Amino acid sequence: MRYPTYLYWIASVIALAVILAIWYDYTYSMGVVKGYEINDASLDKRLLVATQESPYKRVLTHQLIERLDTAALYIRVIDVTQLPDYKCFEIDGSYAYDAIVIMHTWQYGEPPTEVTDFLRSVECDNSVFLLTTSGSGTARVPDYDGLSSASVHSALPGELEDIVTWVDRRLWWATPPEGAAAGARQQSK
For the stretch 36-66, pLDDT in tens is 999 988 888 999 999 999 999 999 999 999 9
The reply to whether 56 and 24 lie within a common domain is no
For the stretch 67-119, pLDDT in tens is 987 788 999 999 999 998 887 776 566 678 889 999 998 877 888 889 988 88
Mean per-residue pLDDT of the chain:
82
The CATH number of whichever domain residue 179 belongs to comes to 3.40.50.2300
User: In this predicted structure, what is the pLDDT of residue 25?
Assistant: 65
The reply to whether 169 and 100 lie within a common domain is yes
The reply to whether 76 and 138 lie within a common domain is yes
The reply to whether 20 and 91 lie within a common domain is no
Q: Which residues contact 29 (CB under 8 A, 6 or more apart)?
A: 107
Q: Which of 26, 29, 32 shows the shortest CA–CA distance to 82?
A: 32
The reply to whether 130 and 59 lie within a common domain is yes
The reply to whether 99 and 8 lie within a common domain is no
Residues spanned by the domain of 4: 1-30
The reply to whether 71 and 133 lie within a common domain is yes
CA pair distance 144, 119, nearest whole angstrom: 9
Residue 31 pLDDT class (50, 70, 90 cuts): confident
Q: How many domains does the chain have?
A: 2
The reply to whether 80 and 107 lie within a common domain is yes
- Does the reported pTM lie above 0.85? no
**DSSP letters of the chain?**
-PPPHHHHHHHHHHHHHHHHHHHHHHHH--BPPPPEEES-TTSSEEEEEEE-B-HHHHHHHHHHHHHS-GGGEEEEEEEGGGGGG--SB-TTSSBS-SEEEEEEE-BTTB--HHHHHHHHH---TT-EEEEEE-SSS----TTSEEEEE---GGGHHHHHHHHHHHHHHHHHTT-PPTTSHHHHHHHH-
